[in-house]
Chains A and B, each alone.
Chain A
Amino acid sequence: MNSAAKWGSDPMSEQTFTDTDRTDGIEPDMVDQDAAPASIAPEGPAIQPMNMIQALNSALHVKMAEDPNVLSFGEDAGYFGGVFRVTDQLQQKHGLTRSFDAPISECGIVAAAIGMGAYGLRPVVEIQFADYIYPAYDQIVSEAAKIRYRSAGQFTAPLVVRSPYGGGIFGGQTHSQSPESLFTHIAGLKVVIPSNPYDAKGLLTAAIEDDDPVIFLEPKRLYNGPFDGWHQKPVSPWKTQALAQVPTGKHVEPIGKARVMREGTDVTILCYGTMVWVSLAGAEHAGVDAEVIDLRTLVPLDIDTIEASVKKTGRCIIVHEAPKTSGYGAELSALVQERCFYHLEAPVTRVCGWDTPYPHAFEWEYFPGPERVATALKAVMAGGSR
């Protein structure tokens, strides 16, 4: 599968898939302890269907087997394997010191990883929910991001901070946030967000091998299936998706490259994470021939793919879950206008989370769904912005 692969082709064989199908559209417990990863060993078939949890878990197993300097720790991430099971069996397979539980101290977790990175290790730490990352913010922003620069390369911070983020799970304000723009704004950080199992494994592997700190945000609503925002309808599992066919051995996807999920001529949709699937559904709902670009990496951004697409379509909408004001969409909008102004036939338009805290009871009023995307698409096709 290459970066031009399209969404929605070649349904997977159902026999080999181990995911628990979900049809209720919500995950009130958020913690799916039944979705045990099945792809620990590189033996067996070279390609297996995986959900996103299994794909991330596979990336960690493969890298830890390959490189003794890779280790993983976080809250509940050791013996138990993490509340979302992403670090499942790492301790059992690679040893106690390679994957262990950390105190409930996000600052301490990231700081320890910085020290380990300076020593020469490649720590991968888990922040249990992105909403909990703020106690570590100073260590990420003032330390990890700046150590290479301020020491003129004497010291580096090659760490990966993994964290589940985003809404659509009835998580309320402390289990649903999308804090990506707090990191894209920081010089010295890379920010990666996969939208499917194939990229999740490839990008996590690349992040571990990267010599700079990477904030790796995992759209937890996508862990078990490509949720498209139609929450009243049954959720399809990953097994129906081409992008759930994941190499069981080492698999690297380059950081800094977007993926064109759907080619189109009418309008470009820039999106990432869960919103990739929502955008695809929104385009279908609107009956618009949209080009849907999964950014995959927010920093460094694949500006060439964006620029070429918008110059082709002449229209651009940006979809993200995070609140609109000062969200990453503001940056994308500015870049598109700077580079594609004379090609634009409608204002660049944003479909985002509202500028409110994430509300528990109003999940689907807050969460940008396919209908809002469709409305925006129709508006820009008519030359307006809303």
Chain B
Amino acid sequence: MTRNSRPLSLRIPEPSGRPGDAPDFSHLKLDVAGAVDRPAVDARPVQMLDLAFRLVRVLDDQGQAVGPWNPRLDPETLKKGLRAMILTRALDDRMHRAHRQGKTSFYMKCTGEEAIAVAQGMILSREDMGFPTYRQQGLLIARGYPLVEMMNQIYSNASDPIKGRQLPIMYSAKDYGFFTISGNLGTQVPQAVGWAMASAYKGDDKIAITWIGDGATAEGDFHNALTFAAVYRAPVILNIVNNQWAISSFQGIAGGLETTFASKAIGYGLPALRVDGNDFLAVWAATQWAEERARSNQGATVIELFTYRGAPHSTSDDPSRYRPGDEAEKWPLGDPIARLKQHLIALGEWTDDAHAEAEAEAVAQVRAAGKAAEAVGTLGQSRPSVKTMFEDVFATEDWRLVEQRREVGV
């Protein structure tokens, strides 16, 4: 036996900055826009290993779309995406305030991550199924889900589509391709794989898409999902939204200092893409690549969407206690809304005035929906009938539920 010359020491990963420090992103290696090759959709995973460590970007610092990943979207599609992102942010702002005003118990913003769910919600159809975690509200908004329904859910009021049963923002919207959200992290990923397997089993053409945060990739469910996706070649897009923070734990606590999250796919034999999540065009292009692959029966793709959680984890969180105060503003990949706006202006398709107008329209739309939802009632002012508490446990109530419902007197 060889003895150590020095005692062992335990390494605990630490982020590059804490409150009071200046934000430090010098450790990030960010490819410039257009620098990363686009493999053929039928490339074998082993032929594209480097993409797990690079960063697919399309929009350059001047707002030009460059390089092989440029999806060449028409201006109307870009404007639709921009408006959906603006509306998502306006909803977040109002609901965050609604929480501060005591109208609901909880809220989670997706500030800085709007491009992801909006672009992906536009690419896939409602017939496909999304298995979201909790910052994909942009998917519902991109597909025109009524804002008032989202608010009714957030208020758990009498018109809540899921009858006051879930914490605010845990939406379920089957007709919009949005699976019921679980608060238990990571469980949705292997479920998405199973759903995709079912589509293949039936010989249908539908695919599944799912999202997990950087922190939750440490859950066994994620790794089980990748095994199943690879083994059965499931038509599913497996997104890892790396927003750098899992509540107060930086991504290094989930293994992000050792390797990229995208590279987790390599060991499972799945293709991996690592993408600038604040670049609407890059998100679009990567998702389209994965979609083509899935629809042509070539199986799953893992996409790491590299972004930054601009807001607190939730209304119960205060990031000033664990990260530099201005880290979000200093994020080197910018704000996805500002970047798409810049691109549209560079194309001559958008102006500052048009943007201000779009923002005002979004605020008005949210305000109108807010009034409608508040007319039904905010949390505690209005709620579904108490007897509904005993419904939907099973397809039919058993005697216990009948007795317990009577005990409540309903």
Residues in A lying within 8 Å of B, measured CB to CB:
71, 97, 103, 105, 107-108, 111-116, 118-121, 123, 135, 138-139, 142-143, 146-156, 187-188, 190, 210-212, 256, 299-301, 303
Contact = CB atoms under 8 A, between A and B. Distances in A.
Nearest to A136: B224
Contacts of A299: 398
Contact of A150 (B170, B193, B195): B170
Nearest to A146: B182
Given A111-B194, A114-B191, A154-B180, 14 more contacts: A71-B201, A103-B227, A105-B224, A105-B227, A111-B193, A115-B190, A115-B194, A119-B202, A150-B182, A151-B174, A152-B161, A190-B394, A211-B395, A303-B399
Contact of A105 (B189, B199, B228, B393): B228
Nearest to B399: A303
A152 B165 contact: yes
Given A115-B196, A118-B129, A138-B184, A155 B179 contact: yes
Given A151-B174, A152-B162, A112 B187 contact: no
Residue among A105, A108, A299 with the highest chain B CB neighbour number at 10 A: A108
Nearest to A158: B395
A116 B231 contact: no
A119 B227 CA distance: 20
Interface in B384-400: 392-395, 398-400
B172 A155 contact: yes
Interface residues of B, number: 44
A303 B165 CA distance: 29
B179 A118 contact: yes
Interface string B161-187: 111011000101110000110101001
Contact of B201 (A107, A121, A142, A156): A121
Interface string B300-315: 0000000000000000
B393 A149 contact: yes
14 contacts: A111-B187, A115-B192, A115-B194, A116-B195, A118-B179, A143-B191, A148-B393, A149-B165, A150-B162, A150-B166, A150-B182, A151-B172, A154-B162, A300-B400
B187 A116 contact: no
Nearest to A211: B395
B184 A142 contact: yes
B179 A107 contact: no
B344 interface: no
B182 A116 contact: no
B198 interface: yes
A97 B201 contact: yes
Contacts of A152: 161-163, 165, 172, 392
A226 B141 CA distance: 59
Contacts of A150: 162, 165-166, 170, 172, 180, 182
B180 A151 contact: yes
A322 B392 CA distance: 30
B116 interface: no
A149 B392 contact: yes
Contact of B182 (A112, A143, A256, A300): A143
B163 A300 contact: no
Contacts of A115: 131, 190-198, 208
A34 B179 CA distance: 45
B221 interface: yes
Contacts of B180: 147, 150-151, 154-155
A17 B225 CA distance: 43
A151 B392 CA distance: 9
Contacts of B191: 111-112, 114-115, 118, 139, 143
